[in-house]
Amino acid sequence: MSKYVKELMMDQLRTDLDGSRSVLILDLKGLGAVAEHQFRRDLRKKSIKIRTLKNTLARRIFSEMGMDGLAQFLEGPSVAVWGGDGVAELAKEISTQVKALKKPEIKGGAVDGVVIGPSQVEDITKLPSREALIGRVAAMAMSPAQRVVSLANAPASGLLSQLKTLSEGAPEGEAEAADAEAPAAEAPAAEAEG
């Protein structure tokens, strides 16, 4: 293969990766043509890109990107997969496909430039999706505000219940009992603010 062709292939891989620092390396050996076509089509539907690698050229590209550790997985037939909605979704989809097809093998990969082995890829599949993590962070951010609002409303609700009792024309004994309960309800709210 000429130097010019090798340069073209390396440029194409650089362009395809487009700075992606999360990539998995697979071995599709033993997968039939029809199954491989279906595998590639399923990945394409999820915006996951797949590319067969020439190992020597891929080592150079990954080295340029600061992921030298991926060289250990570039033995024999190698395929790179990347993209999708995030590294957790990528790992989940690939793991699901590998289990269903029983032939492909996950050799390893990199997550944000950190090289990981096949067992760590399986651990990533147990992570929640990006949307679930965003939901958790939003709930945690809203929690203190909800607490402040409930504490601010506590004294007002106690006062309103006393006014309602008085307006309904409660007998003297019940109104005095309601007055005795009001300071007890306000005390925890005052302690929480302090």
Number of domains the chain is built from = 2
Using the predicted structure, report yes or no on whether residue 49 has a pLDDT greater than 70. yes
Using the predicted structure, report yes or no on whether residue 172 has a pLDDT greater than 70. no
Which amino acid, one-letter code, is at 128?
Answer: P
pLDDT of 156: 67
What is the C-alpha separation between 92 and 147, in angstroms, rounded? Answer: 37
Do residue 101 and residue 137 come from a single domain? Answer: no
Tens digits of per-residue pLDDT, 75-121? 988 999 998 888 888 888 888 888 888 878 889 999 888 888 888 88
- State the pairing for strand pair 105-111/48-53: unpaired
Whether the predicted model's global pTM rises above the 0.85 cut: no
Do residue 177 and residue 121 come from a single domain? Answer: no
3-state helix, strand, coil in the chain (%, to 5): 65, 15, 20
Tens digits of per-residue pLDDT, 123-156? 887 777 667 777 877 877 777 777 667 766 667 6
Domain stop point among 127, 150, 183? 127
CATH number reported for the structural domain that contains residue 16 in this entry:
3.30.70.1730
Do residue 146 and residue 114 come from a single domain? Answer: no
Do residue 121 and residue 138 come from a single domain? Answer: no
Check residue 117 and report its DSSP letter: -
Do residue 137 and residue 122 come from a single domain? Answer: no
Using the predicted structure, report yes or no on whether residue 190 has a pLDDT greater than 50. no
Return the ∠ at Cα 42 (arms to 15 and 112), rounded to 5°: 45
Do residue 52 and residue 99 come from a single domain? Answer: yes
Do residue 147 and residue 89 come from a single domain? Answer: no
Look up the domain containing 148 and give its range: 133-193
Do residue 94 and residue 152 come from a single domain? Answer: no
Do residue 144 and residue 105 come from a single domain? Answer: no
Do residue 95 and residue 140 come from a single domain? Answer: no
Do residue 105 and residue 139 come from a single domain? Answer: no
